[in-house]
Amino acid sequence: MTDGGVPRWLAHFLLVVGWLLTPVCAWGASYFGLWAGAKIGVRLSAPGAMVGVALGIAFLSGFLVLAVWVRAMRRLPHWLAHRMAPRRSQETPRAPD
């Protein structure tokens, strides 16, 4: 690796791990949304409305986090490309001292 670049293997590793974490992020957000919706829905008197509020907030939170995560993951290769160390074949040879 040369000065100040992210190793290529680390950039590829981050990309793969990021995409593998996509379902975990969506699940976590929907679970949190369901919990928050249940806390809000308890204040209502109709059981159907309680469930509807909980499911609606779970869906919205899961969808929003998934949309933001996928957008970030689609931009990650471009962001990492500017920070990756050059390949050894692309490095300029150093002049002898």
Rounded to two decimals, what is the model's pTM? 0.72
pLDDT tens, position by position, 28-87: 999 999 999 999 999 999 999 999 999 999 999 999 999 999 999 998 888 877 777 666
CB 65 within 8 A of CB 10: no
CA–CA dist 54, 69 (Å, integer)? 22
Q: Is 50 exposed, middle or buried (0-12, 13-18, 19+ CB in 10 A)?
A: middle
Place of tokens 């500017």: 82
- Cα 67–chain centre separation: 9
CB 5 within 8 A of CB 81: no
- Both tokens of residue 19? 């995409």
CA–CA dist 23, 41 (Å, integer)? 26
